[in-house]
Copies of this chain bind each other. A is one copy, B any other.
Amino acid sequence: MKREGALNGIKVLDLSRVLAGPFCTMMLADMGAEVIKIEVPGKGDDSRNFGPFVNGESGYYMNINRNKKGITLNLKGKGKDLFLEMVKKADMVVENYRPGVMEKLGIGYEELKKVNPGIIYGAVSGFGHYGPYTLRPGYDVIGQASSGLMSVTGWPDGGPTRIGTAMADSLAGYSLTIGLLAALQYRNQTGIGQKVDIGMMDAGIASMQIIYPIYTMGGRIPERIGNRYESNYPTDTFRTKDGMIVIGAANDKLWQKLCEVMGRKELAEDERYDRNPKRVEHYREIKPIIEAWTLENSSKEAMEQLLKAGVPASPINNLEQVVHDPHANAREMFVHVEHPVAGDTLLNGSQFKMTVTDPVIDTPALLLGQHNGEVYEELLGLDSSRLEELREQGVI
């Protein structure tokens, strides 16, 4: 029995591979859409070969391809016609090929629209489907570098620094999901489908909405400033007796509370530091004052006093600490799913906490071509002898 999901009844044909596209369709699947992942016969998504491996199965792949169905299809030759037949029955098509590849295969948006005018077509690529760099290949690092993200991350005396996960892919995946759902709302109202085109560079730029105005409206190029923030202080990292914590005393009231916690009430009244803009200016003096206090405490001791007083503070968790964190677990941010080959696996949970249609993560990632029988019969009425024929011809 299919669980109740916000996107129940929505059918998605997913040609995407590796990350930005599959992350988008993962969210759709977690919310109850029927996502049919289409992979190259005999080979599959490249990310099936990305570690870590559990009994030979890719942890990378298993994490972001749960809750999907999977078929194999060679999009050249006969496969193209089968695909077009399926498009007639689908609500969305998602792909992250380089721009032009779908057209070369004869299944670009204009072709799909002919067989299904209501189809919602989602494309994600390094630089999007138009503009001078459209044909440039895009990987996460290209998105992080081209959008400006790397230029502002890191330390004044260090070089541009990559965000330590594939953040440009994540941002593009979120953007595509939003575009698709907005297009779905529009189609509900009008019956009209459309194409949503997301570029990683664009998604990176749009995600720096508080930093760009410093240049576009303030005329100053934002630089790498380490762990402090442009707009308030003290919001920074501070060493403790046994490690490091972050404190975010981002406004005047929180500064007063922080001074009280440190037993330095006189500082709260010090005219050099009493207003946020002054603290931003004098951050070099303020940091050692606060660190003198944090260094007298363990991270745990400092955290306890700060949180008790209502001052925002957090340990700087590594991933092991997050996985065992009681809050992350209370919010089911890690979920056990039994995989037929890998056995028990611990997957990322969903951040979408919804009172009626809470996402459910209960179905392991597909094996290559696992649902060929089911999907081809249901969608195209192909029986097992016809499937055998297609298999022999290398079509599926």
Contact of A145 with B by CB under 8 A: yes
Contact of A115 with B by CB under 8 A: no
Give complex CA distance A6, B298 in Å. 52
Q: Which residues of B contact A221 (CB under 8 A)?
A: 318-320
Q: Is the CB of B186 within 8 A of A323?
A: no
Q: Is the CB of B333 within 8 A of A52?
A: no
Quick one: CB contact mask for A116-159 with B, threshold 8 Å, 1 for yes? 00000000001111111100111111101111111111110011
Q: Which residues of B contact A212 (CB under 8 A)?
A: 63, 319, 323, 334, 348
Q: Is the CB of A185 within 8 A of B182?
A: no
Task: Please judge, given known A-B contacts A182-B6, A205-B328, A328-B201, whether A164 and B152 are in contact too, CB under 8 Å.
Answer: yes
Q: Which residues of B contact A151 (CB under 8 A)?
A: 164, 316-319
**What copy number does this chain have within its complex?**
2
Choose one: B162, B215, B227; the contact of A226 (CB below 8 Å): B162
Give complex CA distance A316, B146 in Å. 6
Chain B residue at minimal CB-CB distance from A313: B142
Give complex CA distance A331, B325 in Å. 42
Segment 176-225 of A: residues with Cβ below 8 Å from B: 177-179, 181-186, 188-189, 192-199, 201-203, 205-225
**Selected interface stretch from A34-42, A69-77, A166-174, A288-296:** A166-174
Q: Is the CB of B159 within 8 A of A244?
A: yes
22 contacts between A and B (CB under 8 A): A7-B186, A19-B209, A131-B327, A137-B310, A141-B248, A142-B314, A145-B314, A146-B322, A149-B165, A150-B227, A150-B316, A151-B316, A151-B317, A161-B161, A162-B227, A178-B181, A181-B181, A182-B352, A208-B319, A212-B334, A217-B342, A222-B318
